[in-house]
Structure 1
Amino acid sequence: MRQQAILWMARCGWLALTVGCLMGSTVTAVASIPDDPYRSPMWHYNLNRYLGEGETVQHSDQVVLKVPHFAEDATQVPLTVDLSGFGSSVKEVITWVDLNPVPHLFTFRPEATEVRGIALNFRIQQASTVRAAVLDGQGVWHIGSAHVDAAGGGCTAPSATATNPDWAASLGQMRGALFSPASGPASTRLKLQVMHPMDTGMVGNIPRFNIEQVELRNATSQARLATMSLSESASENPLFVFDLEHEGKEDGLTLWMRDNGGNVFENHLGT
């Protein structure tokens, strides 16, 4: 009887130790993610969804996310990710809108260039916190956040393109240029708008039709400088702005795009 009691106590001790270890590991995992100052219900979910579980995450003043306080037009909300003060090499940039039906906006990956800034208009379905996550060379994600108040409905509003019976004639037309910024660390600024309805698939009888892939290439060698993936939250007729620092800028740039219908658009900018 005494031996059974000793065995039972040993098992209980082992169980308590195991539970304590598990609880300790859980606390450590949760503690690695800082609290959200905006208290968004999607904070932890979107971090795991877009950055992956167990990643090192921190709020950072080096990621300057610029959006309006109020979205006057919910279908065209300007967003700028200013990385001119980021103190490390940028490996990846991911942006999302917490409460959009499709939160993801874009993922940008530099390959043979340094990125100093990215700007793109987006749709917003309701008042929401917007995020920009930047991965540095040590594998740490730096988060910039801002809140946009909005009347909403931007993701479910039909595009103006749908009212034009000749919209296909202008599909993929691009207007843009390269600039040399007067100040700041970037040596090249690309600013370009492409005509595309960017349909979200959330309007009755209108399927999703949007640009999905973007590549920046050296215009002479066609070497890839950076890639970008887009989601349905991007605005109709998107306007892209990239501030870059790279070799061979005198060769000019080629902007290449493909939508989910298989259409390919390409434009050469520079010399």
Structure 2
Amino acid sequence: MSNGHIVIGEIFGTAVLILLGGGVVAAVTLKRSKAIGAGWVAISFGWGFAVLAGAYIANGYSGGQLNPAVTLGVAIKTGQWSTVPYYLIGQIVGAMIGALLVWAAYLGQFQAHLTDPEVLASVAAPEPAPASAAASAPHADPAGPATGNTAQPGGPVLGVFSTGPEIRNPVQNLVTEAIGTFVLVLFILTEGMTKGLALNGLGILLTALVVVGIGLSLGGPTGYAINPARDLGPRIVHALLPLPNKGGSDWGYAWIPVVGPLVGAAIAGGLYRLAFT
């Protein structure tokens, strides 16, 4: 495959990944959505289907890696580093395009949520927190978790674009992201992604199911980015979009869903070389 094919494949595949993945979060969390309140299981399966669709679309062009952490793990396994920049370019650009498409698809819901009088009133006059909650306040996430936050109207909106921890503890958050990505990348490497070749159809399906499993089992603490492009690209878009009352983009946390997955991928790639080759 040519470098141009890699960039094009990763752009299209990652854009669809983010469109469907961010879309399910928007559907579950934003006001005036028919799926509001569908819950974490819906989000986990939605992201799994997003991986399935994006990887199938990109498979014939780039192998459908769609994730800098996967790209890193494959490069460590195969020793082929020359194509890594092309994968990264396609993934970041695709993630930003996908985030813009989510915004376009849910524009009315974003506006309805961010201008809803009930939401704005809850921010202006929040209910007093119990003593037990006050004790844990220093660790609270000001940007809100991936599925919403009543502390500010923009919390659920940021959650559509990027992840955030339920308990803000950088070490724990970093470890959680590394563990989840380790599972994903080790599975992909042992499934047969060698020498830059694409997974077969069954491999893509199984990978999507593993993503569902990671979401259900390990997604609770941080919202399981397990993909630096998935978090960074849409976070940039969130920062640029002209949405009222959207709040900040939580750049203080943004390094964790980038570094954590890369650490987990590097460990998976190194372990694969030690144990499986």
Q: Same fold (TM over 0.5)?
A: no
Which one has a larger percent strand, Structure 1 or Structure 2? 1
Scaled by the length of structure 2, the TM-score of the pair is 0.29
* Higher radius of gyration, 1 or 2: 1
Alignment TM-score, normalising by the size of structure 1: 0.29
Higher relative contact order (CA 8 A, sep 6+): 2
Structure (1/2) with the larger helix percentage: 2
